[in-house]
Amino acid sequence: MTCFSSADESAHYGFSVCMLLEHYRAQLGWEAEGVVELGTGDATAIAEVVAGLPDLRVRSYDISAPSIEEARANISARGVSDRYTVELGDFFDQADSAGGPRVSTVISNPPYIPAPDRDILMPELWGGVFGNDLVLQLLKSDYDNVITAVASYSDPVTTVRTAEDLGYRVANFLAMGLDFGTYSSEPKVREHIRRLCADGHGWAGDDEYMVAVALFTRNPDVRGDRADQLLNSLQITE
């Protein structure tokens, strides 16, 4: 098992999480509660966020032992081990049973590569047939605020409309164009993405796609709903 790394995507994710947490600092209440994270990866992006926001505490979960080892080293190197902790295990099993007050905000850059099955170059990146399995599961986990990546080729309409059905609004987002990388360029994956997009389940160019990091919220103190703008930024028209 190897650790996934994508400098552009990681930088965008970290910058977006930082901006959203800072902009909605008062409404989200993370200074008092902290946040939880689904999927640590190598931790570099969020370690930088924690370093830049001295009042932020993150409790993270990952199912990959190699990722955990690398993440802890990266967190230690940035001097934030006291505020950014990583645990090995299934987020959905452990986050709610960790004890203490309920945390209302979760952050995640979940696996979102769509493919017919997990038999791809890096199975850890498989997000289900449509690519949004983990995002949908996260939205159904009853957190008031969900900051997560949404990819244009991973059925974003279903993600957004499911969120609406669950009472969420898209408060804000930051979108970026990305080139297909090693794993999305795998022939099996690329062909599956083409079929999904042709069937109306997303958008991708010949060698590019869009990804947005969005704040889905049920918090009445956070105003506005930019769901349609989010889909437009992902090149989706309904």
Domain definitions of the chain by residue range: 7-233
**Residue 229 buriedness (CB in 10 A; 0-12 / 13-18 / 19+):** middle
**pTM to 2 decimal places:** 0.94
Of 46, 17, 48, 43, nearest to 213 by C-alpha is: 17
Per-residue pLDDT reduced to its tens digit, 53-86? 999 999 999 998 988 999 999 999 999 999 999 9
First vs last C-alpha separation in the chain = 39
Measured CA to CA, the distance from residue 238 to residue 236 in angstroms comes to: 7
Task: Please give the pLDDT value at position 98.
Answer: 56
Sheet order of strands, 84-88 included? 84-88, 58-62, 35-38, 105-108, 145-151, 208-217, 169-179
Rg (CA), the chain: 17
Q: Please identify every stretch of the chain with a pLDDT value under 50, giving residue numbers as ranges.
A: 1-5
Measured CA to CA, the distance from residue 231 to residue 229 in angstroms comes to: 5
CATH number of this structure's domain 7-233 = 3.40.50.150
Per-residue pLDDT reduced to its tens digit, 207-233? 999 999 999 999 999 999 999 999 999
Task: Please give the pLDDT value at position 7.
Answer: 74
Of 113, 166, 173, 125, nearest to 148 by C-alpha is: 173
Query: In the numeric block, which tokens belong to residue 74?
Result: 């990266």
What region, left, alpha or beta, does residue 17 occupy, with left being phi > 0 and alpha being psi -120 to 50 degrees? alpha
Task: Please give the pLDDT value at position 237.
Answer: 84
Task: Please give the pLDDT value at position 3.
Answer: 37
